[in-house]
Every structure is written in C-alpha cells, then in structure tokens.
Amino acid sequence: SSELTQDPAVSVALGQTVRITCQGDSLRSYYASWYQQKPGQAPVLVIYGNNNRPSGIPDRFSGSYSGDTASLTITGAQAEDEADYYCDSRDSTGNHGVFGGGTKLTVL
Amino acid sequence: QVQLVQSGAEVKKPGASVKVSCKASGYIFTTYYMHWVRQAPGQGLEWMGIINPSGGSTRYAQKLQGRVTVTSDTSTSTVYMELSSLKSEDTAVYYCARDYGSGSFYLFYWGQGTLVTVSS
C-alpha cells in the first residue's frame, strides 16, 4: 500500500502530552518524517528518521515507531504548537514519496 | 544559509501549462535532491516528484505521470516544475523542498510556495 493514515484532529490541554500517529505498510521498511504547518506558512520539518530533530526544533518534539505506525509525541504542549501535522515517507516501492492526510492539533 | 526562492503566482486557463521555478542558494546545488509538493486550498500535502540536480534523473507521482516535468539548470542553481493540461483541480500552492541528501525523502528546507490558479 502507498497510503499513510492519520487521525484528522487531535486536541491536548496546555502543558500536557499528545501523540499523533501515522499508519502505513511502508513504515515497516522506511522511516517517516514529520512536518508542522501553520496557516499561510510553508511546512517545517520537526522530526526525521529515527527520532532526529533539526536544529532549532524544541526537544519536546520526539518520534517513535511500532510496527507499521510512526508517532510524533509533544511532551508539554505549548500554545504555539497548535498547527497541522503531516507525516511523510516513501511508498512501498521506495521510489516515491507519500504524505499522510494530516492531523489538526488544537491546544486547549 | 539555505534559501529556496520560488517564482510568483500564476493564473492559467484549463488546458494550459505552467512552469514554476525554484532558485537555490547557500549550498552546493548538485549535492542535494529536490522535491516538489503541492497543496490544494484547504487540503493536505501531495508529493509530486523528485529530481537529482546532478544528472537530472527524475521520479514522479504516478497520478501526475505524463503531465509533470521537473528539470534543473546547474548554471543558475534553479529547479523547474512544469505541469501541463491544467485542470481546475490543479489549483494549489506548489512548493519546492530540498532533500536531506540523496533521496532520503526528509524535506529539510522549503520554498515560500507559489499559488497556481486554474480558472476559465
């Protein structure tokens, strides 16, 4: 399968921990990356590979894997974390990219 | 610092073609693959294709195969995405995004986006 499935929406109380998941067969073979997108802005890479954070991304963002599911965890969510989050990986052939449908995170 | 600067917004009629440019700076252009991603209004991200600027080899999303062409010009460090036979469903913001390396599919740097509107 070439699809990555995400929950459309998730909410978290300010300061609490939230996990956003991404499921797909290709994740058994390839790592995912995670992107944060705020309205009117280009996406920003927050996690890639085996739990790597680009420079400048707060350490409250972390990634993990279990079987065919990748997860993005925000520990101690802040108001500025409210955004759309997308996972990305390769398809089953490894030759093409594929994005999940995105998860809208609301921080209450 | 790495910068990807895209060309400006376009308005096209159905059936026409559009060519969007992405000028790279701040790194060795031929070392890193480049992707194109689009986002229709209110919708999610869609991967379109990838190019190795050194040599010009490409791969495209099956859905767009035959309509999309990605090219690179090493003399100006610019990547181009051309989409033909435009339909209203092609209305979207188009982004170029630089790979972490040689096809890792980790999109480290993004252009500012180019809005393409297809309307009669």
pLDDT digit string (tens) for chain A, length 108 residues: 469 999 999 999 999 999 999 999 999 999 999 999 999 999 999 999 989 999 999 999 999 999 999 999 999 999 999 999 999 999 988 999 999 999 999 999
| One-letter amino acid for residue A85 of the chain | Y
Q: What is the pLDDT of residues B44-93, one digit of tens each?
A: 999 999 999 999 999 999 999 999 999 999 999 999 999 999 999 999 99
* Number of helices (H), then strands (E), in chain A: 0, 10
Distance CA B62, CA A103 (A): 24
Say what the pLDDT of residue A44 is: 98
A96 to B95: CB separation less than 8 angstroms, yes or no: no
A42 to B111: CB separation less than 8 angstroms, yes or no: yes
Distance CA B103, CA B56 (A): 13
Whether the Cβ atoms of residue B67 and residue B84 lie closer than 8 Å to each other? yes
Distance CA B59, CA B40 (A): 21
Say what the pLDDT of residue B63 is: 94
A43 to B45: CB separation less than 8 angstroms, yes or no: yes
Say what the pLDDT of residue A2 is: 61
Whether the Cβ atoms of residue B101 and residue B32 lie closer than 8 Å to each other? yes
Say what the pLDDT of residue B39 is: 98
Backbone phi, psi, residue B30, to 5°: -80, -5
Residues of B (83-102) whose Cβ lies below 8 Å from A: 95, 97, 100
Q: What is the pLDDT of residues B5-52, one digit of tens each?
A: 999 999 999 999 999 999 999 999 999 999 999 999 999 999 999 999
Cα dihedral A2, A31, B56, B114 in deg (nearest 10): 80
Q: In a 3-state reduction of DSSP, which class is residue B10?
A: strand
Could you tell me the end-to-end alpha-carbon distance of chain A, in angstroms, rounded to an integer?
A: 35
Backbone phi, psi, residue A85, to 5°: -120, 130
- Rounded to a whole number of angstroms, the CA Rg of chain A reads 13
Q: Which residues of A touch B62 (CB under 8 A)?
A: 96
Whether the Cβ atoms of residue B97 and residue B35 lie closer than 8 Å to each other? yes
Is the per-residue pLDDT at B103 higher than 90? no
